[in-house]
């Protein structure tokens, strides 16, 4: 790809970008959210047409007019948001658009056998007659990769492939990536996780603000070099945690339980502090947060806010009490992708701006603009649809929605998932600013350095219970994980050894 440029209205998405891929390599494509990575890949895969620039495949100029045309030329892309039909079976998804049969009658036996053959090519043992939606995200991703391999793809683009995978699923994916590279495929690997890039990549291309910055061999640069090129400045301290002095207890939870393995939970969070919940996938961290917010039902327990008992049986109740939630999955649980930034931001607070059923639109616009500008949301205007924003900017819109509540308590579930290094630092700045203003913040993060870096207290969660609390100064990654995995308990020999040392 050479000299590729693309505009959307007055906004420049790509400006004279070039990228070359070689067979048998993993080529990492890196940059902040909004740098142009996804736009470049959508041009490669035929979703967009470039305004200018050239594409050559095996030295021959080509035009990729649509995704089906891309597949016919051996170009496949696995999007972060999987393009599958969850209600259909694995076999039906693998055959979609190319179903075997005659006279309009589907040959289901052949379709199932073809699916087994396709999955066997990537070493995936997945029942082909199960509805795809019943599989884990990792297995669904394997089905998409099997489809791409079956189409004899020469180029495979993986966009944030491990964002929703467990460690075991990620390890299986890494092995598969290495196998495909050894077989001569060219792979584009888009990820914000530097450790993955250093594990897999042969070369790294960095984009910034829609422009090409550099392409280098991975062994010729350091992670710090790449970060500096991505953001255009030195990132000296990623985590922002000013000296904060917690105030009075804002949230007090006692005996909270769902009667199905979560709880009982006792938890206090003070104004002006961040409390981090750390644990393995399935430990119950998200379930605890959702019960506090009223998104999941509780069978017992009490919630007190600023010393007063409150009833929270629904998210609406939580919002009335100025409790905000940034959920784990922004796409499924927070965003209205076809609606504007303005309406997404004001969604929880329209009542404040309405009288006798009529919304005061100018007042909404003024308030939204204030918060969106404070969070530095990159967009053409607040009328832009939120679905067209980068992941980091979508995350900021949800934060802006929370800010419009003037929150007493803010619950952030994986606040930087799928977000680049620059946007991460901005989100950490936002969290710190809120805490300095006296907001109480509960953070759930699977990124252990992040949790330790931004929290004042860290609590290990295991099997739906809070098992150990650490002050910021005493917490280490090793010690927290010993408790989160159950290797150490307060009564164990490991625990006593930790205390002695």
| For the chain, domain boundaries | 2-231, 249-322+407-500
Give this prediction's pTM.
Answer: 0.62
Domains 2-231 and 249-322+407-500 equal at CATH topology level: yes
Q: Give the contacts of 316 (CB within 8 A, at least 6 positions apart).
A: 294
Distance CA 357, CA 16 (A): 50
Asked if residue 128 lies in contact with residue 112, where contact means CB atoms within 8 angstroms, the answer is yes
Characterize the bridge pairing of strands 186-190 and 25-30: parallel
Architecture of domain 249-322+407-500: 3-Layer(aba) Sandwich (3.40)
Q: Which pLDDT does position 82 carry in this prediction?
A: 67
Q: Give the contacts of 355 (CB within 8 A, at least 6 positions apart).
A: none
Distance CA 153, CA 175 (A): 18
Which parts of the chain have pLDDT scores under 70? 10, 33, 80-82, 163-166, 233-237, 243, 281, 418, 420, 490-501
Distance CA 459, CA 325 (A): 19
**Which segments of 227-357 are extended strands (E)?**
249-257, 265-270, 274-278, 300-305, 308-310, 323-326, 354-355
DSSP state of 387: G
Q: Which pLDDT does position 491 carry in this prediction?
A: 58
Asked if residue 261 lies in contact with residue 235, where contact means CB atoms within 8 angstroms, the answer is no
Count CA within 13 A, CB hemisphere, residue 83: 11
Distance CA 410, CA 271 (A): 11
Q: Match domain 2-231 to its CATH number in 3.40.50.1980, 3.30.70.20, 3.40.50.2300, 3.40.50.300.
A: 3.40.50.300
Instruction: Give the mean pLDDT of the chain.
Output: 86
| Interval 134-168: pLDDT, tens | 887 778 878 888 887 777 789 999 888 876 666 77
| 157 φψ region: left (φ > 0), alpha (ψ -120 to 50), beta (else) | beta
Q: Give the contacts of 255 (CB within 8 A, at least 6 positions apart).
A: 263, 264, 265, 266, 300, 301, 302
Angstrom CA distances, 434 to 248, 375, 408, 410, stand at: 16, 12, 10, 9
Distance CA 273, CA 134 (A): 39
**Which segments of 58-198 are extended strands (E)?**
60-62, 75-78, 101-102, 105-106, 155-159, 186-190
- 189 token code pair: 């690997």
| Interval 322-343: pLDDT, tens | 999 998 888 788 899 899 999 9
Which has the closest alpha carbon to 332: 189, 164, 487? 164
């Amino acid at each position: 790809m050479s000299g590729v440029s693309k505009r959307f209205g007055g906004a420049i998405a790509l400006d004279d970008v070039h990228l070359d891929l070689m067979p048998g390599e993993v080529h990492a494509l890196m940059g902040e959210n909004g740098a142009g990575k996804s736009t470049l890949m959508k041009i490669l895969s035929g979703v967009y047409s470039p305004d200018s620039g050239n594409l050559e495949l095996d030295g021959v100029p080509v035009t990729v007019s649509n995704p089906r045309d891309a597949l016919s030329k051996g170009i496949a892309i696995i999007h972060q948001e999987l393009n599958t039909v969850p209600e259909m079976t694995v076999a039906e998804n693998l055959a979609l658009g190319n179903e075997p049969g005659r006279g309009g009658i589907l040959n289901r036996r052949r379709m199932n056998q073809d699916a087994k053959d396709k999955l066997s090519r990537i070493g995936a043992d997945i029942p082909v007659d199960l509805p795809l939606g019943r599989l884990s995200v990792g297995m669904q991703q394997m089905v998409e990769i099997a489809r791409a391999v079956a189409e004899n793809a020469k180029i495979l683009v993986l966009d944030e492939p491990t964002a929703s995978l467990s460690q075991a699923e990620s390890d299986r994916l890494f092995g598969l990536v290495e196998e495909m590279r050894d077989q001569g495929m060219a792979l584009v690997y888009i990820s914000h996780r530097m450790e993955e890039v250093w594990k897999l990549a042969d070369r790294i291309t960095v984009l910034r603000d829609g422009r090409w910055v550099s392409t280098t061999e991975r062994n010729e640069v350091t992670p710090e070099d790449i970060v500096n090129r991505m953001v255009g400045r030195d990132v000296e301290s990623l985590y922002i945690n000013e000296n904060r002095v917690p105030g009075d207890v804002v949230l007090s939870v006692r005996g909270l339980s769902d009667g199905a393995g979560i709880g009982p939970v006792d938890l206090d969070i003070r104004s002006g502090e961040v409390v981090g919940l750390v644990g393995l996938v399935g430990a119950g961290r998200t379930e605890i947060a959702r019960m506090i917010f009223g998104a999941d039902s509780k069978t017992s327990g009490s919630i007190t806010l600023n010393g007063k008992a409150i009833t929270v049986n629904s998210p609406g109740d939580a919002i009335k009490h100025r409790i905000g939630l940034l959920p784990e999955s922004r796409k499924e649980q927070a965003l209205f992708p076809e609606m504007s930034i303005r309406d997404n931001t004001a969604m929880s607070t329209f009542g404040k701006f309405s009288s006798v059923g009529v919304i005061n639109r100018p007042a909404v616009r003024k308030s939204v603009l204030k918060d969106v500008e404070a969070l530095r949301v990159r967009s053409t205007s607040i009328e832009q649809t939120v679905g067209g924003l980068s992941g980091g900017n979508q995350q900021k819109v949800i934060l802006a929605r929370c800010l419009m509540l003037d929150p007493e308590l803010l619950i952030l579930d994986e606040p930087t998932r799928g977000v680049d290094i620059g946007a991460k630092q901005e989100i950490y700045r936002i969290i710190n600013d809120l805490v300095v203003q006296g907001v109480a913040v509960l953070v759930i993060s699977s990124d252990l350095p992040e949790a330790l870096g931004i929290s004042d207290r860290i609590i290990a969660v295991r099997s739906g219970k809070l098992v150990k609390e650490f002050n910021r100064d005493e917490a280490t990654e090793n010690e927290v994980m010993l408790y989160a995995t159950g290797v150490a308990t307060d009564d164990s020999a490991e625990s006593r050894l930790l205390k002695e040392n």
